[in-house]
Amino acid sequence: MSESTEKQPPPESSNPNGPSAEDISRVMNIDWLKTIPGILKAWQVVLGIIVLACVGSRYFVGGHQFFLFVASVCFIGSTLLFLFYLFRITEKLTLPWTFIDLIYSAGGTLLYFIASIVLAVFTYGLGNLIAGTVFSFMQLGCFGISTFFLFQDWRANSEASNKPNV
């Protein structure tokens, strides 16, 4: 029989029991998910879904359009950044990701602060809007804490890169 028709062993990566933890860790950054920034980013996504569900289920009056705009933009941004970090896209693209995330989180903190106050003023005693207001202030806390940790990380990295080599 010719050598080309001989049965070749399967590649090493194929496992009859599914992908191994090592295979998954090459694609997904599970360790990042266990860090404080990873946990905060996951909470931003979860709270974003809850906030949009609470506030988006009512008719729009007063400042609800502004709040929904802020909540939607922040939800999309948080989801994209979460996926970028989780699937190691930030390691493949050479951009200042800490600074980008810092600016995004600081902007989200400011916008959520304004939007949460606007929503609190226009709740009209409706249960879903009150719940949305409570969750939006929780979201504001996540963005604020995330901004704090990102600023510390950014400052530490920028100071380390500016030190002269002696």
More confident residue, 3 or 108: 108
Flag whether pLDDT at 156 surpasses 90. Answer: yes
3-state secondary structure of 106: helix
pLDDT tens digits, residue range 96-124? 999 999 999 999 999 999 999 999 998 88
Tell me, what's the pLDDT at 14? 57
Any idea which of 29-33, 54-58, 100-104, 158-162 has the lowest mean pLDDT?
A: 158-162
Residue 121, H or E segment = helix 97-121
How many of the other CB atoms lie within 10 Å of CB of 149? 16
Q: Is 125 exposed, middle or buried (0-12, 13-18, 19+ CB in 10 A)?
A: exposed
Residue spans of the domains in the chain: they are 50-158
C-alpha closest to that of 137 among 165, 122, 104, 115 = 115
CA distance linking residue 60 with residue 47, whole number of Å: 20
pLDDT tens digits, residue range 67-96? 999 999 999 999 999 999 999 999 999 999
CA distance linking residue 32 with residue 38, whole number of Å: 6
CA distance linking residue 96 with residue 138, whole number of Å: 28
Flag whether pLDDT at 15 surpasses 80. Answer: no
pLDDT over 90, % of the chain: 66
Tell me, what's the pLDDT at 79? 98
Mean pLDDT within 132-146: 97
